[in-house]
Amino acid sequence: MNNKILYFECYSGISGDMTVAALLDLGVDEKILKKSLDSLKLDGYKIKIGRTSKCGIDACDFDVILDSDEHHHHSHGQEHGHSHDNHSHEYSHSHHHHGDHEHHHSHGQDEHHHEHRNVNDIYKIIDESGISPRAKTISKKIFNIVAIAESKAHGLPIEEVHFHEVGAVDSIVDIVAVAVCLDQLGIKEVVVSDLYEGKGHVRCQHGIIPVPVPAVVNIAMDNSLSLKITDAKGEMVTPTGAAIVAAIKTQDDLPKSYKINKIGIGAGKKDFEKANILRAFIIEDIDQPKGNEIWVLETNLDDCTGESLGYAMDKLLKEGARDVFYTPIFMKKNRPAYKLSVLCTEDKIKSMEGIIFKNTTSIGIRRYKMDRTVLERKIINKETKYGIVEFKAIKYEDQEFHYPEYEYIKNICEYRNLGFQEVYNELMNTRD
């Protein structure tokens, strides 16, 4: 297992432009990025890469300057935390958050040449570009997550979620740039901190809506992202930013101990009381547990309610248990009971035991270390009739088996009103 990990510290939220800037600061070649973006064959924008300072901290600044912005003399970032990335909100209904004032591109002299693209149109642009296959897969996965979230927010089928022309150009550039940078850095493992978000409301074309905005809420909910609401006023996490981390995150926790090999800092456009930056660390796990060792915690429970057992299981899994299960047993005096079994790594033992003691009637826990045989596994992405879907690829000797991830099946079933077995069978029959 490669112990090179990318860690995003999202203490000022996250947006597309901040992510690109942080990755560029880690050492991505600007010429390679610009050449990759040129291959998209998109017009109407220019790229600006430079340096800026946030609370005295030097940071990389990445900006997409849209032709329409220049025509309208819009000053990105003076009223809003994350510059052009907030064109992400142009999805579906062409609305755009820009701090305390309303801002959108479906008016005035631009009206005559605007068109709309759905997610399949954007996939086509990406597929016909000159970027690497892996960058194409990452890009489409990010857009798929945004499209699902926007379809849910607006009550529309995914194929009817349309991306306003200007907003789509902006978002395509940000998202593809992130994918190209990740590919150039050779990043496979990604850990993301809690997403720090502001509060209050922002104005869009259709009125004033709450922060976090609906698309961000849907992405966080559907992809198990942790939000932390701060006292900052306004939006700090954009749909594009949330979708990026949802698509690329592979681990929930940082290693117990690690060394930092490189730091990249990306600047947001607004000045908050705290430095508006996204820090990206390339770290190396220096204390990896052996892959074939696991700890088992067990306790017998004969006087615990079903509600308590269910809650304890949820808490254990969220804290990082590898697996949690209950086994029906009979205890003394023929009492029906359950044996709670928890599989975890050694560094999780203390927190697991704390959850068990606080949330069940257990007064003692057995624990022992076990060896195990672990098959090689990895997450892959497949193009299906439902869009990009994550599969778990399991390898045994010369055979490989692919299984679709549950959360993707659930989302497809909910948004398309289909049965679980129908979607599962269709995905299992998807060709590589």
CA pair distance 321, 345, nearest whole angstrom? 8
**pLDDT tens digits, residue range 216-263?**
999 999 998 999 999 999 899 999 999 999 999 988 888 878 899 999
CA pair distance 13, 228, nearest whole angstrom? 9
The number of residues in the chain equals 432
User: pLDDT grade, residue 205 (50/70/90)?
Assistant: low
CA pair distance 420, 114, nearest whole angstrom? 39
Residue 290: what pLDDT?
55
Domain range list for the chain: 4-285, 293-371, 376-428
Cβ neighbors of 29 (< 8 A, separation 6 or more) are 184
> Does residue 5 register a pLDDT over 80?
yes
Give the residue among 181, 78, 88, 89 at the shortest CA–CA distance from 135: 181
CA pair distance 89, 119, nearest whole angstrom? 14
Residue 273: what pLDDT?
83
What is the CATH class of 293-371? alpha beta
The stretch 80-95 carries a mean pLDDT of: 40
User: pLDDT grade, residue 212 (50/70/90)?
Assistant: very high
Return the SS3 of 416.
helix
Partners of 53 in the β-ladder? 58
> Does residue 79 register a pLDDT over 70?
no
**pLDDT tens digits, residue range 359-368?**
999 999 999 9
**pLDDT tens digits, residue range 89-141?**
444 433 333 333 333 333 333 333 445 788 888 999 999 999 999 999 999 99
| Three-state SS sequence of 166-235 | HHHHHHHHHHHHHHHHHHHHCCCEEEECCEEEEECEEEECCEEEECCCHHHHHHHHHCCCCEEEEEEECC
